[in-house]
Structure 1
Amino acid sequence: MSRPLLFLDVDGPLNPWAARPERRPEGYTTIRVALHPGRALRVWLNPSHGPALLRLGYDLCWATTWMDAANRWIAPVLGLPELPYVDFGTGLFAIRPDGVHWKTEAIVAYAAGRPFAWVDDEQTSADTAYVTAEHPGRALLHLVDPRLGMREGDFEALARFAASAG
């Protein structure tokens, strides 16, 4: 039996971008990333998150606008191996007219019926309804506060789902 997938967003869950800008959260380190020339992005990451994610019992997969760049910038700081990623292309990243997040359809297609959890800071009830209607396997859409990033309770919820989905 295969393990469930864990789709990981970077900004919000792993990088609490909405935290007070003058106050890096405890346990986090700062990196500066130049994804676009001339524009350095401040990213806060907690190195303890990588080992915690690896212990959860999932096959990890990036589900972020960072796509493969997460393997160059984020994974090394967290101590994660190179991970597969959902390729969202270069299209417009916007909420669809039906309210479904632009990532949702691609994540469901990537999962191809496998149980999955998706950690993000932008999910709504429209995404839950879409996943329920379009995905035959079990799924957990786990919303993380982008001011706080992933906390102990988030890891506990993910661990419970992995144990019940496997």
Structure 2
Amino acid sequence: MIGNTLPLLFLDVDGPLIPFGATRQQLPHGYPTYRSGRETQAADANPLITRIDPAHGPRLMALPCELVWATTWMSDANECIAPWLGLPELPVVIWPEPSDEDERGGLHWKTRGILDWAAGRPFAWVDDEITDADRIWTEAHHPGRALLRRVDPRQGITDEDFAALDLWLRLHAG
């Protein structure tokens, strides 16, 4: 790592921040919804945003890292999600076209783009679709340290996830 450069934290939205997929038996009353005090037209247009706990914003900002959106929401994450969480505008990973080779090998279509963006810097990646294939490929192709943290999409990011991220990022911050 060069100088005091902070590690990157690549953050997915659907799954980690917006939980989904639980059955009625798992959540008989449905997902909790929140008000952020920073309601936007985007929250009115997409009611799933109210599943995002606004307390995640300050927790994310407290992590010793550079936050980067790694989501199919692309720039909409800055327009819709960042204000809800009280986050500043964040950089956004622009995704390359997925390759047939990646799909056959089980590699997530985001993996190459994240490693390209990281360019050797230490990074953590929070997503609900990370697999062992992504971990193996990252270890073989990324010269820096990396934490690939799979989040259960039915729960979203948890206290345990935040604790693991905080510990790992502190260990790898300049």
TM-score calculated relative to the size of structure 1: 0.87
Superposed counterparts of 1:1-166, under 5 Å: 1-20=4-23, 23-25=30-32, 31-33=43-45, 42-43=48-49, 44-88=51-95, 91=97, 96-166=103-173
Count, aligned residues: 159
Cα distance in 1 between the residues matched to 2:115 and 2:73 = 19
Structure 1 residue matching 2:169: 3-state secondary structure: helix
Cα distance in 1 between the residues matched to 2:145 and 2:18 = 27
Cα displacement string for residues 108-144 of structure 1 (whole angstroms, at most 9, x for unaligned residues): 0000000000000000000000100010000000010
**AA paired with 1:8?**
L
**AA paired with 2:125?**
W
Cα distance in 2 between the residues matched to 1:83 and 1:32 = 22
The answer on whether the counterparts of 1:57 and 1:162 sit within 8 Å (CA) in structure 2 is yes
Cα distance in 1 between the residues matched to 2:35 and 2:159 = 14
| The structure with more helix, counted as a fraction of residues | 2
Higher mean displacement: 19-28 or 102-111: 19-28
The answer on whether the counterparts of 1:61 and 1:85 sit within 8 Å (CA) in structure 2 is yes
Cα displacement string for residues 68-97 of structure 1 (whole angstroms, at most 9, x for unaligned residues): 1100010000111000010015x4699611
The answer on whether the counterparts of 2:125 and 2:149 sit within 8 Å (CA) in structure 1 is yes
Structure 1: segments with no counterpart, 5+ residues: 34-39
Cα displacement string for residues 36-61 of structure 1 (whole angstroms, at most 9, x for unaligned residues): xxxx5633211000100000111000
The Cα of 1:27 is off from its aligned counterpart by: 5.2
Larger radius of gyration: 2
Report the RMSD for the aligned CA atoms in angstroms: 2.3
The Cα of 1:19 is off from its aligned counterpart by: 3.6
The answer on whether the counterparts of 1:32 and 1:42 sit within 8 Å (CA) in structure 2 is no
Query: In structure 2, do the counterparts of structure 1 residues 97 and 28 end up closer, same or farther at CA, with 3 Å as the change threshold?
Result: farther
The answer on whether the counterparts of 2:8 and 2:118 sit within 8 Å (CA) in structure 1 is yes
Cα distance in 1 between the residues matched to 2:11 and 2:122 = 14
The Cα of 1:154 is off from its aligned counterpart by: 0.5
Structure 1 residue matching 2:103: 3-state secondary structure: coil
Structure 2: segments with no counterpart, 5+ residues: none
TM-score calculated relative to the size of structure 2: 0.83
The Cα of 1:25 is off from its aligned counterpart by: 2.6
The Cα of 1:28 is off from its aligned counterpart by: 6.8
